Structure 1
Amino acid sequence: MAASLAPSHVKSISSTSIPSIAISEDGDASTIKASRSPQPTHPYHEATKQQLAPSSSAASGPVVPASPGEANYFPAAEYSRLFFPGDVIPAPPIKASQLGCLTGHSRFVASKNEQHPVACMACRVEDAGARFCCSHCAVRICSGCREALAANGRDLAKIIS
């Protein structure tokens, strides 16, 4: 009756393996060492090991480049030079998804732009002035472009044209 009251996720004691314990060589019960229990063998162990082994093509990297809609997290071709302290990093181009921002650029997060200054994405001015980043589409613009964006009804396409 007790077995029927047990939850379904609890295994019975007879089905689980009990670790074996061996008493140490000196016969003292206070120094007990665990003996290695035999590892269960799976019939498909070798086949699974071969399937999980990395192939030579996986070590060399992806064969197909990122699709046009996917993010490229390693822009090696875009930024092939080093940036030293004091250099202003050129802004990446504005994407179509940033032009049609879902929130309409309603909220911006301010940044001092001091440590690693990035140029404005709209007017391309390269200075270390404050930048404002849209909380939804992550477009980074300067304070002048932000004021112009608020004045024209938050249409980014009008500002960059």
Structure 2
Amino acid sequence: MLQEGSLEVLVAAARSGSRESMTSLYAAFRPMVVLRCRAELDRAVSDSAADAACVAVLTAVCDGSETNQPFLRLLYARTSVAIARAASDGFSGGPLPPPTDLPVVERDVLVLRLIVGLDIKATATSLARTTDQVSLDLYRALQRLRKLSSPNAIREMLVST
């Protein structure tokens, strides 16, 4: 997993028009997008939603329209839009409990921290929150999950992605 600063360096190089840098950037962020989409959507549509999110991210990087925000926030926002579009088409049902069981921010923190593998700082950057808020959200989400099902069910849910 790349550090947040490494991603920003790749983004800056990609914005300069370097095709090689764009390829490196894509290779760095695509696995994160795929993991998130697979966590939140049915496998039948998760990869196409990930592809749509990746295209949207690359387009935003190329045209420079999102230079005022950190790359991880752009990545999170564009992936969220792709997931919402797929869900509005009637596709959902990833391995996590339905969104009604967890508040959205707690669900997002769970996905970014435990499935995508971002650290606390990168998760905070992605969600425009402080690291303390992310820690608290993660704690609350895990507490809610413990009440919803057994620890083994939670473990299986997170490992199956």
Structure 1 length-normalised TM: 0.22
Q: Which has the higher strand share?
A: 1
Q: Which has the higher contact order (CA 8 A, sep 6+)?
A: 2
Q: Which has the higher helix share?
A: 2
